[in-house]
Structure 1
């Protein structure tokens, strides 16, 4: 890591920690050290992952289920606050206009953002469809933020802040282990009452992608790489974007996958 890379990472870490501290203070909860959350050991429980995937799979695609519009509006506002922090750290966000994905893997994402101070975002409309599609999901609405000649959707804003605070800041990888770590770090920057929605957008979709019922054999098991029926991640569909909030028991089970709580 060069001195410029290190400077950006330090600025980003300082801004993220201050934001997490404020979120904890508003909730009357003890502050947590984000760098310690990133270092705790993790145990992946595939039964838990399948249960999360099944809950996501069976959730209906409907508009404003159970009056959740206010929660999503607050989530969108919070994402915009975090998006502004990215700019304060010196990172410019641009829509990706090239073929395929903007980064080969998580290492490429981390290295290029840290060294160049630019984050390319794979736009929601290329993966999930245009604004207003998919059951009128509230994060598919225009955000009012323009970048590189494009107006970003709220979902684009959310994916940008997660890439930065979930992956770039502490080098968390893609795939279940890295995404679980990224979610744990990033959740600490949100008010606690938004955690069920953030969890659905991150872990719910991730578990569906890696452990969903559409990938399983008739006996419920998942074929491994090289086995008949195995579908490589590059050929898997994106999860449909749904409006749901996971219950506290599920979030507690997620937290229990990690080591002792950090202070």
Structure 2
């Protein structure tokens, strides 16, 4: 394991111990099933954007709280620079920055999130959406070397989900598996070059439980 991955793995394990759990070993790398991806994309399209629903709010509040706790461990292994521009052309460039410079640049632009953009981290003043992007890039992507493509995003979701409570996993699944499935498999995006695909609308909602990670 390369030094930068050892550092991120150690930070993830330290976080898990801080909440009284051990980090399970990463499972075998999976390949996305396009048929499942299409089902998730359609479920995301059909999902109601309902940030005031108590069940939705509870899942997102748990998600934000746990992200803020994970942030304390992320910032010990990499410097986070927030930027309004898209910082990396691909996942390899991101990993190189972490490996060579111990730095991660995080994109802060895009459409506001109905819940996460309005929960503010007390120390940094950053939104939970910004903190999520940083933490997920480290613990979802960099720790196990997951790329930004369909299968890499699926593995990043699986790996990072192991670090959350079941309630928070519901929000994580919407934000990662749901949005990535829309990008890759929504009817309006399939067959298009990456540069021409539409990003998913930012929604606060919960996908059906069948799309959650194994309990």
For the criterion TM > 0.5, the same-fold answer is yes
The match for 2:104 is 119
Secondary structure at the aligned position of 1:185 is classed as helix
Aligned to 1:143: 120
Residue 88 (str. 1) matches residue 71 (str. 2):
no
In 2, Cα distance between equivalents of 1:178 and 1:112: 18
Pair 1:201–1:97, CA change in 2 (3 A): closer
Provide the C-alpha distance between the structure 2 equivalents of 1:42 and 1:67, rounded to a whole number of angstroms. 30
The structure 1 segments of at least 4 consecutive aligned residues displaced by more than 3 Å after TM superposition are 20-25, 144-147
Aligned length: 215
Structure-to-structure mapping, 1:177-192, within 5 angstroms: 177-192=151-166
Larger-Rg structure: 1
Unaligned runs of 5+ in 1: 216-221, 224-230, 256-263
Kindly state the Cα deviation for residue 192 of structure 1 after the two structures are TM-superposed: 2.1
Distance 2:103 2:40 in 1: 33
- For residues 46 and 57 of structure 2, what CA distance do their matches in structure 1 show? 20
Q: TM-score, normalised by structure 1?
A: 0.74
Structure 2 residue runs without a partner (length 5+) = none
Residue aligning to 2:202: 241
Structure 2 residue 80 is the aligned partner of structure 1 residue 103: no
Which of 151, 157, 168 is equivalent to 1:194? 168
Give the match for residue 258 of structure 1.
none
RMSD over aligned Cα, in angstroms? 2.4
Q: Under a length normalisation based on structure 2, what TM-score does the superposition of the two structures give?
A: 0.89
Say if 2:138 is the partner of 1:164: yes
Query: Are 1:20 and 1:188, in contact at CA under 8 Å, matched by a contact in 2?
Result: no
1:16 maps to which residue?
12
CA spacing shift, 1:114–1:21, aligned 2, 3 Å: same
1:209 maps to which residue?
A: 183
Partner Cα distance (2:83, 2:62) in 1? 27
Instruction: Report deviation, 1:20.
Output: 3.6
DSSP 3-state at the match of 1:68: helix
- C-alpha separation between the residues in 1 aligned to 2:91 and 2:23? 28
Residue 9 of structure 1: how far off its partner (Å): 3.0
Report the alpha carbon displacement of residue 244 of structure 1 after superposing the two structures with TM: 1.8
**Cα shift at 1:23:** 5.3
1:232 and 2:209 correspond: no
How far does the alpha carbon of each residue in 1:149-208 deviate from its partner, in whole angstroms, 9 at most, with x for none? xx4211110011000111111211011110111111100111122212111110000000
